[in-house]
Structure 1
Amino acid sequence: MLCARLVRNVRLQSALWTATQSQRRGCSSENSPSSTMVNRDFLTLKDFKPEEIEQLLWTAKDLKTRIRDNKELFQPLKGKSIAMLFQKKSTRTRLSTEMGMTLLGGHASFLSPDDIHLGVSESIEDTGRVLSRFADLLFGRVYGQSDLDVLAAEATVPVINGLSDQYHPLQILADFVTLQEYYGYLHGLKLAWVGDGNNIVHSLMMGCGKLGMELRVATPKGYEPDGQVIKDATKLSAQSGSTLHLTHDPMEAVYRADVIITDTWVSMGQEEEKLIRLRDFAGYQVNRKMVKEAASDWTFLHCLPRKQEEVTDDIFYDKKSLVWEEAENRKWTVMAVMLHLLMEYKPTILKPKLIRGS
Protein backbone atom coordinates (compact mmCIF):
# COMPACT_ATOMS: atom_id res chain seq x y z
CA MET A 1 0.00 0.00 0.00
CA LEU A 2 2.82 2.40 0.91
CA CYS A 3 4.57 1.92 -2.46
CA ALA A 4 1.37 2.52 -4.38
CA ARG A 5 0.69 5.73 -2.48
CA LEU A 6 4.24 6.94 -3.03
CA VAL A 7 3.87 6.46 -6.79
CA ARG A 8 0.55 8.32 -6.77
CA ASN A 9 2.08 11.16 -4.73
CA VAL A 10 4.97 11.51 -7.16
CA ARG A 11 2.58 11.67 -10.11
CA LEU A 12 0.35 14.19 -8.38
CA GLN A 13 3.29 16.41 -7.45
CA SER A 14 4.42 16.28 -11.09
CA ALA A 15 0.95 17.35 -12.24
CA LEU A 16 0.88 20.19 -9.72
CA TRP A 17 4.33 21.35 -10.88
CA THR A 18 3.13 21.33 -14.51
CA ALA A 19 0.08 23.40 -13.60
CA THR A 20 2.23 25.87 -11.67
CA GLN A 21 4.60 26.25 -14.60
CA SER A 22 1.67 26.91 -16.94
CA GLN A 23 0.45 29.71 -14.66
CA ARG A 24 3.94 31.21 -14.57
CA ARG A 25 3.96 31.21 -18.37
CA GLY A 26 0.87 33.44 -18.30
CA CYS A 27 -1.75 30.79 -19.12
CA SER A 28 -3.94 31.65 -16.14
CA SER A 29 -7.06 33.76 -16.73
CA GLU A 30 -10.71 34.01 -15.75
CA ASN A 31 -11.56 31.40 -18.38
CA SER A 32 -8.65 29.08 -17.52
CA PRO A 33 -8.73 25.98 -15.32
CA SER A 34 -8.17 27.02 -11.68
CA SER A 35 -6.44 23.89 -10.40
CA THR A 36 -5.21 20.54 -11.58
CA MET A 37 -7.19 17.33 -11.19
CA VAL A 38 -4.66 15.15 -13.00
CA ASN A 39 -3.98 11.81 -11.29
CA ARG A 40 -6.60 12.39 -8.59
CA ASP A 41 -9.38 9.98 -7.67
CA PHE A 42 -13.00 10.94 -8.32
CA LEU A 43 -14.81 9.24 -5.44
CA THR A 44 -17.02 12.00 -3.97
CA LEU A 45 -17.70 15.67 -4.67
CA LYS A 46 -16.72 16.33 -1.08
CA ASP A 47 -13.07 16.03 -2.18
CA PHE A 48 -13.33 18.74 -4.86
CA LYS A 49 -13.29 22.51 -4.54
CA PRO A 50 -16.24 24.51 -5.90
CA GLU A 51 -14.09 25.88 -8.72
CA GLU A 52 -13.03 22.34 -9.67
CA ILE A 53 -16.66 21.21 -9.90
CA GLU A 54 -17.40 24.29 -12.00
CA GLN A 55 -14.45 23.35 -14.20
CA LEU A 56 -15.88 19.86 -14.79
CA LEU A 57 -19.26 21.34 -15.72
CA TRP A 58 -17.58 23.81 -18.07
CA THR A 59 -15.55 21.10 -19.76
CA ALA A 60 -18.62 18.87 -20.14
CA LYS A 61 -20.46 21.67 -21.94
CA ASP A 62 -17.38 22.39 -24.03
CA LEU A 63 -17.06 18.76 -25.14
CA LYS A 64 -20.77 18.64 -25.93
CA THR A 65 -20.40 21.74 -28.10
CA ARG A 66 -17.22 20.61 -29.88
CA ILE A 67 -18.15 17.00 -30.52
CA ARG A 68 -21.95 16.89 -30.74
CA ASP A 69 -22.86 20.35 -32.04
CA ASN A 70 -19.81 21.20 -34.14
CA LYS A 71 -19.12 17.60 -35.27
CA GLU A 72 -15.45 18.00 -34.39
CA LEU A 73 -13.17 15.00 -34.25
CA PHE A 74 -11.46 15.53 -30.91
CA GLN A 75 -9.45 12.62 -29.55
CA PRO A 76 -7.02 13.82 -26.87
CA LEU A 77 -7.11 10.43 -25.08
CA LYS A 78 -5.93 8.40 -28.04
CA GLY A 79 -3.87 5.50 -26.67
CA LYS A 80 -5.44 5.75 -23.20
CA SER A 81 -7.66 3.12 -21.60
CA ILE A 82 -10.13 2.64 -18.77
CA ALA A 83 -10.93 -0.63 -16.97
CA MET A 84 -14.58 -0.70 -15.82
CA LEU A 85 -15.45 -2.94 -12.86
CA PHE A 86 -19.19 -3.50 -12.45
CA GLN A 87 -20.88 -5.31 -9.58
CA LYS A 88 -24.26 -3.84 -10.57
CA LYS A 89 -25.97 -3.86 -13.93
CA SER A 90 -26.26 -0.58 -15.79
CA THR A 91 -27.45 1.12 -18.97
CA ARG A 92 -26.50 4.80 -18.77
CA THR A 93 -23.38 4.42 -16.64
CA ARG A 94 -21.85 1.73 -18.82
CA LEU A 95 -22.74 3.19 -22.22
CA SER A 96 -21.90 6.79 -21.33
CA THR A 97 -18.45 5.75 -20.14
CA GLU A 98 -17.67 3.32 -22.97
CA MET A 99 -18.92 5.63 -25.71
CA GLY A 100 -17.43 8.69 -24.05
CA MET A 101 -13.96 7.18 -23.88
CA THR A 102 -14.28 6.06 -27.51
CA LEU A 103 -15.26 9.57 -28.62
CA LEU A 104 -12.16 10.92 -26.87
CA GLY A 105 -10.02 8.41 -28.74
CA GLY A 106 -9.43 5.92 -25.92
CA HIS A 107 -10.47 2.35 -25.20
CA ALA A 108 -12.84 1.03 -22.51
CA SER A 109 -12.83 -2.55 -21.18
CA PHE A 110 -15.93 -3.73 -19.34
CA LEU A 111 -15.60 -6.31 -16.56
CA SER A 112 -18.88 -7.75 -15.25
CA PRO A 113 -19.31 -9.79 -12.06
CA ASP A 114 -18.88 -12.89 -14.25
CA ASP A 115 -15.50 -11.60 -15.42
CA ILE A 116 -14.10 -10.37 -12.13
CA HIS A 117 -15.43 -11.20 -8.67
CA LEU A 118 -14.12 -8.11 -6.94
CA GLY A 119 -12.67 -9.12 -3.60
CA VAL A 120 -13.66 -12.78 -4.03
CA SER A 121 -11.49 -14.60 -6.55
CA GLU A 122 -8.80 -11.96 -6.01
CA SER A 123 -8.44 -9.35 -3.30
CA ILE A 124 -9.44 -5.77 -4.07
CA GLU A 125 -5.91 -4.71 -3.20
CA ASP A 126 -4.37 -7.07 -5.74
CA THR A 127 -6.96 -6.11 -8.35
CA GLY A 128 -6.00 -2.46 -7.97
CA ARG A 129 -2.30 -3.22 -8.32
CA VAL A 130 -2.74 -5.44 -11.39
CA LEU A 131 -5.23 -3.30 -13.31
CA SER A 132 -3.08 -0.21 -12.72
CA ARG A 133 -0.47 -1.88 -14.93
CA PHE A 134 -2.99 -2.40 -17.73
CA ALA A 135 -5.16 0.73 -17.76
CA ASP A 136 -4.78 4.47 -17.29
CA LEU A 137 -8.04 4.78 -15.33
CA LEU A 138 -10.11 2.45 -13.14
CA PHE A 139 -13.88 2.79 -12.88
CA GLY A 140 -16.05 1.05 -10.30
CA ARG A 141 -19.82 0.60 -10.06
CA VAL A 142 -20.04 -1.27 -6.79
CA TYR A 143 -22.10 -1.92 -3.70
CA GLY A 144 -19.77 -0.75 -0.94
CA GLN A 145 -18.01 2.61 -0.91
CA SER A 146 -15.26 0.91 1.10
CA ASP A 147 -14.44 -1.25 -1.93
CA LEU A 148 -13.70 1.89 -3.95
CA ASP A 149 -11.68 3.37 -1.10
CA VAL A 150 -9.49 0.25 -0.91
CA LEU A 151 -9.15 0.12 -4.70
CA ALA A 152 -8.07 3.76 -4.78
CA ALA A 153 -5.57 3.25 -1.96
CA GLU A 154 -3.81 0.46 -3.86
CA ALA A 155 -4.15 1.64 -7.46
CA THR A 156 -1.43 3.78 -9.03
CA VAL A 157 -3.88 5.29 -11.52
CA PRO A 158 -6.99 7.42 -10.83
CA VAL A 159 -10.16 5.65 -9.70
CA ILE A 160 -13.64 6.92 -10.66
CA ASN A 161 -16.77 6.23 -8.64
CA GLY A 162 -19.43 5.05 -11.08
CA LEU A 163 -21.83 4.43 -8.18
CA SER A 164 -21.60 3.07 -4.65
CA ASP A 165 -24.07 2.68 -1.81
CA GLN A 166 -22.77 5.99 -0.40
CA TYR A 167 -22.27 8.29 -3.40
CA HIS A 168 -23.03 8.76 -7.09
CA PRO A 169 -21.10 11.94 -8.01
CA LEU A 170 -21.23 11.45 -11.79
CA GLN A 171 -25.03 11.65 -11.71
CA ILE A 172 -24.96 14.97 -9.90
CA LEU A 173 -22.56 16.49 -12.42
CA ALA A 174 -25.04 15.54 -15.16
CA ASP A 175 -27.88 17.08 -13.16
CA PHE A 176 -25.98 20.33 -12.68
CA VAL A 177 -25.04 20.64 -16.37
CA THR A 178 -28.70 20.06 -17.26
CA LEU A 179 -29.91 22.75 -14.86
CA GLN A 180 -27.20 25.17 -15.95
CA GLU A 181 -28.33 24.73 -19.56
CA TYR A 182 -31.99 25.30 -18.69
CA TYR A 183 -31.81 28.14 -16.15
CA GLY A 184 -28.54 29.74 -17.23
CA TYR A 185 -27.10 29.62 -13.70
CA LEU A 186 -26.91 27.39 -10.59
CA HIS A 187 -26.13 29.46 -7.50
CA GLY A 188 -29.37 30.35 -5.74
CA LEU A 189 -31.58 27.68 -7.32
CA LYS A 190 -33.96 25.93 -4.93
CA LEU A 191 -33.91 22.15 -5.26
CA ALA A 192 -36.32 19.70 -3.64
CA TRP A 193 -35.51 16.02 -3.18
CA VAL A 194 -38.53 13.77 -2.62
CA GLY A 195 -37.65 10.15 -1.90
CA ASP A 196 -35.11 7.90 -0.25
CA GLY A 197 -32.04 9.15 1.63
CA ASN A 198 -29.76 7.32 -0.77
CA ASN A 199 -26.49 7.72 -2.66
CA ILE A 200 -27.98 10.18 -5.15
CA VAL A 201 -29.15 12.62 -2.53
CA HIS A 202 -25.86 12.20 -0.63
CA SER A 203 -23.96 13.47 -3.67
CA LEU A 204 -26.63 16.11 -4.31
CA MET A 205 -26.14 17.38 -0.76
CA MET A 206 -22.40 17.68 -1.35
CA GLY A 207 -22.78 19.38 -4.73
CA CYS A 208 -25.42 21.87 -3.62
CA GLY A 209 -23.36 22.73 -0.57
CA LYS A 210 -20.32 23.39 -2.72
CA LEU A 211 -22.06 25.53 -5.36
CA GLY A 212 -24.53 27.47 -3.24
CA MET A 213 -27.87 25.88 -4.10
CA GLU A 214 -30.66 25.59 -1.54
CA LEU A 215 -31.64 21.97 -1.00
CA ARG A 216 -34.69 20.63 0.82
CA VAL A 217 -34.73 16.89 1.40
CA ALA A 218 -37.99 15.07 2.15
CA THR A 219 -37.75 11.42 3.19
CA PRO A 220 -40.06 9.12 5.15
CA LYS A 221 -39.10 8.53 8.76
CA GLY A 222 -36.39 5.91 8.93
CA TYR A 223 -35.11 6.71 5.43
CA GLU A 224 -33.12 9.86 6.22
CA PRO A 225 -29.68 10.51 4.66
CA ASP A 226 -26.56 9.27 6.43
CA GLY A 227 -25.78 11.24 9.59
CA GLN A 228 -22.16 12.02 8.69
CA VAL A 229 -23.19 13.16 5.22
CA ILE A 230 -25.72 15.51 6.83
CA LYS A 231 -23.00 17.00 9.04
CA ASP A 232 -20.60 17.45 6.13
CA ALA A 233 -23.26 18.93 3.84
CA THR A 234 -24.52 21.32 6.52
CA LYS A 235 -20.99 22.66 6.95
CA LEU A 236 -20.53 23.05 3.20
CA SER A 237 -23.86 24.85 2.84
CA ALA A 238 -22.90 27.32 5.56
CA GLN A 239 -19.63 28.03 3.77
CA SER A 240 -21.37 28.78 0.46
CA GLY A 241 -24.22 30.75 1.99
CA SER A 242 -26.89 28.25 0.99
CA THR A 243 -29.20 26.16 3.17
CA LEU A 244 -29.90 22.46 3.70
CA HIS A 245 -33.31 21.61 5.14
CA LEU A 246 -34.48 18.11 6.11
CA THR A 247 -38.14 17.22 6.48
CA HIS A 248 -40.59 14.32 6.38
CA ASP A 249 -43.18 16.40 4.49
CA PRO A 250 -42.75 16.32 0.69
CA MET A 251 -45.12 19.26 0.23
CA GLU A 252 -42.92 21.36 2.49
CA ALA A 253 -39.86 20.39 0.46
CA VAL A 254 -41.33 21.30 -2.93
CA TYR A 255 -42.89 24.61 -1.83
CA ARG A 256 -41.62 27.25 -4.30
CA ALA A 257 -38.85 24.89 -5.45
CA ASP A 258 -37.32 25.45 -8.88
CA VAL A 259 -36.37 21.80 -9.31
CA ILE A 260 -38.04 18.63 -8.06
CA ILE A 261 -35.89 15.50 -8.02
CA THR A 262 -36.71 11.91 -7.19
CA ASP A 263 -35.27 8.45 -7.74
CA THR A 264 -36.18 4.81 -7.33
CA TRP A 265 -37.61 3.81 -3.98
CA VAL A 266 -36.20 0.29 -4.32
CA SER A 267 -32.53 0.18 -5.31
CA MET A 268 -30.61 -2.87 -6.48
CA GLY A 269 -30.11 -5.17 -3.52
CA GLN A 270 -33.31 -3.96 -1.81
CA GLU A 271 -35.81 -6.07 -3.76
CA GLU A 272 -36.88 -8.03 -0.66
CA GLU A 273 -37.91 -4.73 0.95
CA LYS A 274 -40.14 -3.66 -1.96
CA LEU A 275 -43.57 -4.12 -0.34
CA ILE A 276 -42.45 -2.44 2.86
CA ARG A 277 -40.89 0.46 0.98
CA LEU A 278 -43.94 1.04 -1.22
CA ARG A 279 -46.02 1.30 1.95
CA ASP A 280 -43.55 3.62 3.69
CA PHE A 281 -43.25 5.94 0.68
CA ALA A 282 -47.00 6.49 0.31
CA GLY A 283 -47.56 10.18 -0.42
CA TYR A 284 -44.13 10.67 -1.99
CA GLN A 285 -45.16 10.22 -5.63
CA VAL A 286 -44.38 13.34 -7.66
CA ASN A 287 -47.70 14.28 -9.26
CA ARG A 288 -49.66 17.29 -10.48
CA LYS A 289 -50.90 18.13 -6.99
CA MET A 290 -47.36 18.22 -5.66
CA VAL A 291 -45.85 20.36 -8.43
CA LYS A 292 -48.58 22.97 -7.92
CA GLU A 293 -46.68 23.88 -4.75
CA ALA A 294 -43.44 24.45 -6.72
CA ALA A 295 -42.25 27.59 -8.49
CA SER A 296 -44.04 28.47 -11.72
CA ASP A 297 -40.99 27.57 -13.83
CA TRP A 298 -40.42 24.23 -12.09
CA THR A 299 -38.46 21.43 -13.71
CA PHE A 300 -38.23 17.73 -12.93
CA LEU A 301 -35.24 15.38 -12.78
CA HIS A 302 -34.97 11.60 -12.40
CA CYS A 303 -31.78 9.62 -12.97
CA LEU A 304 -33.71 6.64 -14.45
CA PRO A 305 -34.92 3.97 -14.73
CA ARG A 306 -38.26 5.32 -13.56
CA LYS A 307 -41.23 3.48 -12.08
CA GLN A 308 -44.86 4.59 -12.04
CA GLU A 309 -45.12 4.83 -8.27
CA GLU A 310 -42.33 7.43 -8.14
CA VAL A 311 -43.76 9.94 -10.62
CA THR A 312 -46.91 10.11 -12.74
CA ASP A 313 -46.80 10.03 -16.54
CA ASP A 314 -48.09 13.59 -16.90
CA ILE A 315 -45.09 14.91 -14.94
CA PHE A 316 -42.48 12.50 -16.25
CA TYR A 317 -43.35 13.29 -19.90
CA ASP A 318 -44.13 16.98 -19.33
CA LYS A 319 -42.17 19.55 -21.33
CA LYS A 320 -40.70 20.70 -18.00
CA SER A 321 -39.25 17.28 -17.39
CA LEU A 322 -35.53 17.33 -18.21
CA VAL A 323 -34.88 13.61 -17.78
CA TRP A 324 -33.74 13.00 -21.37
CA GLU A 325 -31.27 15.91 -21.37
CA GLU A 326 -30.14 14.72 -17.94
CA ALA A 327 -29.50 11.21 -19.30
CA GLU A 328 -27.52 12.50 -22.27
CA ASN A 329 -25.39 14.70 -20.06
CA ARG A 330 -24.18 11.62 -18.21
CA LYS A 331 -21.94 11.05 -21.23
CA TRP A 332 -20.49 14.55 -21.45
CA THR A 333 -19.82 14.79 -17.72
CA VAL A 334 -18.04 11.44 -17.42
CA MET A 335 -15.99 12.46 -20.45
CA ALA A 336 -15.01 15.64 -18.64
CA VAL A 337 -13.96 13.68 -15.57
CA MET A 338 -11.88 11.18 -17.55
CA LEU A 339 -10.22 13.97 -19.48
CA HIS A 340 -9.27 16.03 -16.42
CA LEU A 341 -7.92 13.05 -14.49
CA LEU A 342 -5.55 12.28 -17.35
CA MET A 343 -4.48 15.68 -18.67
CA GLU A 344 -4.78 19.44 -18.30
CA TYR A 345 -7.51 20.90 -20.48
CA LYS A 346 -8.71 24.40 -21.27
CA PRO A 347 -12.22 24.61 -22.76
CA THR A 348 -12.76 26.55 -25.97
CA ILE A 349 -16.15 28.09 -25.06
CA LEU A 350 -16.91 30.84 -22.57
CA LYS A 351 -17.41 29.60 -19.03
CA PRO A 352 -21.11 29.03 -18.22
CA LYS A 353 -22.57 31.26 -15.54
CA LEU A 354 -22.83 30.06 -11.98
CA ILE A 355 -24.66 33.09 -10.61
CA ARG A 356 -27.77 34.61 -12.20
CA GLY A 357 -27.01 37.77 -14.16
CA SER A 358 -23.24 37.44 -13.74
Structure 2
Amino acid sequence: MAAGDILAIFAAARRLQAHAGTLGKPLHGKNIALLLGRSPTGETPALHRAALELGARVAEVPFAEPAGASGRDDLRGLARMLGRMYDAIDCGTLAPATVRQIEQEAGVPVYAGLALQDHPVQVLADLMTLSDQRLPSAKASLLYLGDPRTKRGHAFLAAARQIGFEVRLGQHLQAASNDATIFVVDATHHPRWALHSPSNLLDEARRSETHRRVMQTVLLDTMERV
Protein backbone atom coordinates (compact mmCIF):
# COMPACT_ATOMS: atom_id res chain seq x y z
CA MET A 1 0.00 0.00 0.00
CA ALA A 2 1.09 3.56 -0.66
CA ALA A 3 1.89 5.79 2.31
CA GLY A 4 -1.18 7.94 1.62
CA ASP A 5 -3.49 4.92 1.74
CA ILE A 6 -1.98 3.71 5.01
CA LEU A 7 -2.25 7.13 6.63
CA ALA A 8 -5.86 7.49 5.43
CA ILE A 9 -6.77 4.23 7.20
CA PHE A 10 -5.04 5.47 10.36
CA ALA A 11 -6.96 8.75 10.19
CA ALA A 12 -10.30 6.97 9.76
CA ALA A 13 -9.54 4.61 12.66
CA ARG A 14 -8.63 7.56 14.88
CA ARG A 15 -11.92 9.27 14.01
CA LEU A 16 -13.77 6.13 15.11
CA GLN A 17 -11.88 6.20 18.39
CA ALA A 18 -12.53 9.91 18.91
CA HIS A 19 -16.27 9.43 18.39
CA ALA A 20 -16.59 6.24 20.43
CA GLY A 21 -19.95 6.26 22.18
CA THR A 22 -21.49 8.80 19.79
CA LEU A 23 -20.93 6.93 16.53
CA GLY A 24 -24.38 5.36 16.41
CA LYS A 25 -24.88 2.17 14.44
CA PRO A 26 -23.66 2.83 10.88
CA LEU A 27 -24.03 -0.85 9.89
CA HIS A 28 -27.54 -1.23 11.32
CA GLY A 29 -29.51 -3.67 9.16
CA LYS A 30 -26.38 -5.24 7.67
CA ASN A 31 -25.72 -8.97 8.06
CA ILE A 32 -22.25 -10.51 8.24
CA ALA A 33 -21.41 -14.22 8.04
CA LEU A 34 -18.30 -15.53 9.80
CA LEU A 35 -17.48 -18.87 8.18
CA LEU A 36 -15.95 -21.25 10.71
CA GLY A 37 -13.73 -23.95 9.22
CA ARG A 38 -12.57 -27.09 10.95
CA SER A 39 -10.02 -25.15 13.00
CA PRO A 40 -11.73 -21.94 14.13
CA THR A 41 -9.35 -19.63 16.03
CA GLY A 42 -9.77 -17.48 19.08
CA GLU A 43 -9.47 -14.42 16.83
CA THR A 44 -12.96 -14.79 15.37
CA PRO A 45 -14.83 -13.24 18.34
CA ALA A 46 -12.74 -10.06 17.93
CA LEU A 47 -14.30 -9.48 14.52
CA HIS A 48 -17.71 -10.46 15.86
CA ARG A 49 -17.50 -7.81 18.58
CA ALA A 50 -16.15 -5.18 16.20
CA ALA A 51 -19.07 -5.70 13.80
CA LEU A 52 -21.69 -5.76 16.57
CA GLU A 53 -20.40 -2.43 17.88
CA LEU A 54 -21.17 -0.92 14.46
CA GLY A 55 -24.73 -2.28 14.57
CA ALA A 56 -24.34 -5.25 12.22
CA ARG A 57 -25.93 -8.64 12.83
CA VAL A 58 -23.33 -11.40 12.88
CA ALA A 59 -23.83 -15.12 12.26
CA GLU A 60 -21.09 -17.67 12.96
CA VAL A 61 -21.62 -20.32 10.27
CA PRO A 62 -19.94 -23.78 10.43
CA PHE A 63 -18.35 -24.45 7.05
CA ALA A 64 -16.62 -27.53 5.61
CA GLU A 65 -14.01 -27.21 2.86
CA PRO A 66 -15.23 -28.65 -0.48
CA ALA A 67 -13.64 -31.81 -1.86
CA GLY A 68 -13.31 -32.81 -5.51
CA ALA A 69 -15.03 -31.44 -8.60
CA SER A 70 -18.52 -31.93 -7.20
CA GLY A 71 -17.49 -30.06 -4.07
CA ARG A 72 -16.32 -27.09 -6.13
CA ASP A 73 -19.65 -27.02 -7.95
CA ASP A 74 -21.47 -27.12 -4.62
CA LEU A 75 -19.26 -24.27 -3.37
CA ARG A 76 -20.29 -22.03 -6.25
CA GLY A 77 -23.95 -22.51 -5.41
CA LEU A 78 -23.32 -22.08 -1.70
CA ALA A 79 -21.34 -18.89 -2.27
CA ARG A 80 -24.20 -17.42 -4.31
CA MET A 81 -26.67 -18.33 -1.56
CA LEU A 82 -24.46 -16.72 1.10
CA GLY A 83 -24.24 -13.59 -1.05
CA ARG A 84 -28.03 -13.37 -1.11
CA MET A 85 -28.34 -13.90 2.64
CA TYR A 86 -25.50 -11.69 3.89
CA ASP A 87 -24.02 -8.28 3.12
CA ALA A 88 -20.45 -9.44 3.79
CA ILE A 89 -18.64 -12.72 4.44
CA ASP A 90 -15.50 -13.41 6.46
CA CYS A 91 -13.78 -16.69 5.55
CA GLY A 92 -11.65 -17.11 8.66
CA THR A 93 -9.07 -19.86 8.19
CA LEU A 94 -10.49 -21.32 4.95
CA ALA A 95 -8.01 -22.17 2.20
CA PRO A 96 -7.09 -19.29 -0.15
CA ALA A 97 -8.57 -21.13 -3.17
CA THR A 98 -11.88 -21.48 -1.33
CA VAL A 99 -11.84 -17.80 -0.38
CA ARG A 100 -11.21 -16.78 -3.99
CA GLN A 101 -14.10 -18.86 -5.27
CA ILE A 102 -16.49 -17.49 -2.67
CA GLU A 103 -15.36 -13.97 -3.59
CA GLN A 104 -15.98 -14.65 -7.30
CA GLU A 105 -19.50 -15.94 -6.73
CA ALA A 106 -20.93 -14.14 -3.69
CA GLY A 107 -21.23 -10.61 -5.07
CA VAL A 108 -20.63 -9.05 -1.64
CA PRO A 109 -17.44 -8.06 0.25
CA VAL A 110 -15.46 -11.18 1.20
CA TYR A 111 -12.62 -11.06 3.76
CA ALA A 112 -9.83 -13.61 4.11
CA GLY A 113 -9.85 -13.84 7.90
CA LEU A 114 -10.05 -10.15 8.81
CA ALA A 115 -9.19 -10.79 12.48
CA LEU A 116 -6.37 -13.26 11.90
CA GLN A 117 -2.88 -12.29 13.00
CA ASP A 118 -1.41 -12.72 9.51
CA HIS A 119 -4.04 -10.52 7.86
CA PRO A 120 -2.87 -7.08 6.61
CA VAL A 121 -5.30 -5.48 9.07
CA GLN A 122 -3.16 -6.75 11.97
CA VAL A 123 -0.07 -5.38 10.24
CA LEU A 124 -1.68 -1.95 9.95
CA ALA A 125 -2.96 -2.06 13.52
CA ASP A 126 0.51 -2.82 14.91
CA LEU A 127 2.03 -0.07 12.79
CA MET A 128 -0.64 2.41 13.89
CA THR A 129 -0.01 1.50 17.55
CA LEU A 130 3.66 2.42 17.09
CA SER A 131 2.90 5.52 15.02
CA ASP A 132 0.65 6.88 17.78
CA GLN A 133 3.66 6.81 20.14
CA ARG A 134 6.16 8.70 18.04
CA LEU A 135 6.72 12.45 18.16
CA PRO A 136 5.70 14.21 14.93
CA SER A 137 9.03 16.00 14.57
CA ALA A 138 11.27 13.10 15.59
CA LYS A 139 12.96 10.68 13.24
CA ALA A 140 11.49 7.26 13.95
CA SER A 141 13.77 4.24 14.02
CA LEU A 142 12.46 0.71 14.33
CA LEU A 143 14.31 -2.48 15.25
CA TYR A 144 12.63 -5.63 13.95
CA LEU A 145 13.55 -8.86 15.74
CA GLY A 146 12.73 -12.12 14.00
CA ASP A 147 12.40 -13.48 10.49
CA PRO A 148 11.61 -10.64 8.05
CA ARG A 149 10.70 -13.15 5.32
CA THR A 150 7.40 -14.27 6.82
CA LYS A 151 4.24 -12.99 5.14
CA ARG A 152 3.37 -10.78 8.08
CA GLY A 153 6.94 -9.60 8.64
CA HIS A 154 7.48 -8.69 5.00
CA ALA A 155 4.20 -6.74 4.84
CA PHE A 156 4.90 -4.95 8.12
CA LEU A 157 8.40 -3.84 7.17
CA ALA A 158 7.28 -2.64 3.73
CA ALA A 159 4.47 -0.58 5.28
CA ALA A 160 6.76 0.80 8.02
CA ARG A 161 9.24 2.06 5.44
CA GLN A 162 6.40 3.58 3.40
CA ILE A 163 5.37 5.86 6.27
CA GLY A 164 8.88 6.93 7.21
CA PHE A 165 10.25 4.49 9.77
CA GLU A 166 13.96 3.81 9.47
CA VAL A 167 14.07 0.01 9.77
CA ARG A 168 16.85 -2.09 11.24
CA LEU A 169 16.95 -5.87 11.53
CA GLY A 170 18.25 -7.76 14.56
CA GLN A 171 18.02 -10.99 16.50
CA HIS A 172 18.06 -9.96 20.16
CA LEU A 173 16.31 -7.34 22.26
CA GLN A 174 19.66 -6.38 23.77
CA ALA A 175 20.51 -4.77 20.43
CA ALA A 176 18.32 -1.82 21.44
CA SER A 177 19.19 -1.75 25.13
CA ASN A 178 21.41 1.34 24.83
CA ASP A 179 19.14 3.27 22.46
CA ALA A 180 16.40 5.29 24.14
CA THR A 181 14.87 6.52 20.87
CA ILE A 182 14.15 3.30 19.00
CA PHE A 183 10.92 1.35 18.65
CA VAL A 184 11.21 -2.44 18.85
CA VAL A 185 9.01 -5.06 17.22
CA ASP A 186 9.75 -8.48 18.71
CA ALA A 187 8.43 -11.04 16.23
CA THR A 188 10.54 -13.92 17.52
CA HIS A 189 7.53 -15.67 19.10
CA HIS A 190 5.16 -15.86 16.15
CA PRO A 191 2.27 -15.10 16.06
CA ARG A 192 2.34 -13.16 19.35
CA TRP A 193 4.42 -10.11 18.56
CA ALA A 194 5.52 -7.71 21.30
CA LEU A 195 5.73 -3.98 20.57
CA HIS A 196 8.00 -1.67 22.54
CA SER A 197 8.00 2.11 22.43
CA PRO A 198 11.27 3.85 23.40
CA SER A 199 10.01 3.98 27.00
CA ASN A 200 7.92 0.86 27.60
CA LEU A 201 6.23 -2.32 26.38
CA LEU A 202 2.93 -1.40 24.72
CA ASP A 203 0.06 -3.09 26.51
CA GLU A 204 -2.37 -5.53 24.95
CA ALA A 205 -5.44 -3.43 25.72
CA ARG A 206 -4.13 -0.57 23.61
CA ARG A 207 -3.19 -2.91 20.77
CA SER A 208 -6.57 -4.66 20.85
CA GLU A 209 -8.39 -1.32 20.75
CA THR A 210 -6.39 -0.19 17.73
CA HIS A 211 -6.93 -3.53 15.98
CA ARG A 212 -10.69 -3.26 16.51
CA ARG A 213 -10.78 0.27 15.10
CA VAL A 214 -8.81 -0.71 12.00
CA MET A 215 -11.13 -3.70 11.42
CA GLN A 216 -14.12 -1.40 11.77
CA THR A 217 -12.58 1.04 9.31
CA VAL A 218 -12.29 -1.76 6.73
CA LEU A 219 -15.84 -2.97 7.37
CA LEU A 220 -17.28 0.53 6.97
CA ASP A 221 -15.24 1.31 3.86
CA THR A 222 -16.13 -1.90 2.06
CA MET A 223 -19.73 -2.43 3.17
CA GLU A 224 -20.92 1.15 2.78
CA ARG A 225 -19.69 1.14 -0.84
CA VAL A 226 -21.90 -1.83 -1.78
Q: Is 1:77–1:106's contact at 8 Å kept on the other side of the alignment?
A: yes
Trace 1:1-358 onto structure 2 (pairs within 5 A): 48-67=1-20, 71-87=21-37, 88-91=39-42, 93-111=43-61, 115-120=62-67, 122-123=71-72, 124-142=75-93, 144-162=95-113, 168-185=119-136, 189-196=140-147, 197-216=149-168, 253-254=169-170, 284=171, 286-287=172-173, 289-292=174-177, 295-301=179-185, 320-324=200-204, 325-343=206-224
Tell me how far apart the structure 2 counterparts of residues 206 and 80 of structure 1 sit (CA, whole Å). 34
Q: CA offset at residue 179 of structure 1?
A: 1.6
Q: Is 1:179–1:186's contact at 8 Å kept on the other side of the alignment?
A: no
Q: CA offset at residue 102 of structure 1?
A: 0.9
Could you tell me which amino acid in structure 1 is paired with residue 27 of structure 2? L
Secondary structure in structure 2 of the residue aligned to 1:141: coil
| Cα deviations by residue, 1:3-29 (Å, 9 ceiling, x for unpaired) | xxxxxxxxxxxxxxxxxxxxxxxxxxx
Q: CA offset at residue 160 of structure 1?
A: 1.9
Tell me how far apart the structure 2 counterparts of residues 146 and 320 of structure 1 sit (CA, whole Å). 41
Q: Which runs of 5+ in 2 are unaligned?
A: none
Q: Is 2:33–2:86's contact at 8 Å kept on the other side of the alignment?
A: yes
Q: Is 1:175–1:301's contact at 8 Å kept on the other side of the alignment?
A: no
Q: CA offset at residue 99 of structure 1?
A: 1.0
Q: Which runs of 5+ in 1 are unaligned?
A: 1-47, 217-252, 255-283, 345-358
Q: CA offset at residue 122 of structure 1?
A: 4.7
Q: CA offset at residue 290 of structure 1?
A: 3.1
Q: TM-score, normalised by structure 1?
A: 0.51
Secondary structure in structure 2 of the residue aligned to 1:63: helix
Q: Is 2:141–2:181's contact at 8 Å kept on the other side of the alignment?
A: no
Alignment length (residue pairs): 217
Tell me how far apart the structure 2 counterparts of residues 59 and 100 of structure 1 sit (CA, whole Å). 15
Percent of pairs with identical residues = 21
Q: 1:158 to 1:179 in 2, by over 3 A?
A: same
Q: 1:125 to 1:306 in 2, by over 3 A?
A: same
Q: CA offset at residue 76 of structure 1?
A: 0.8
Q: CA offset at residue 329 of structure 1?
A: 1.3
Could you tell me which amino acid in structure 2 is paired with residue 74 of structure 1? G
Q: Is 1:96–1:331's contact at 8 Å kept on the other side of the alignment?
A: yes
Q: Is 2:176–2:184's contact at 8 Å kept on the other side of the alignment?
A: no
Q: CA offset at residue 129 of structure 1?
A: 2.1
Could you tell me which amino acid in structure 1 is paired with residue 207 of structure 2? E
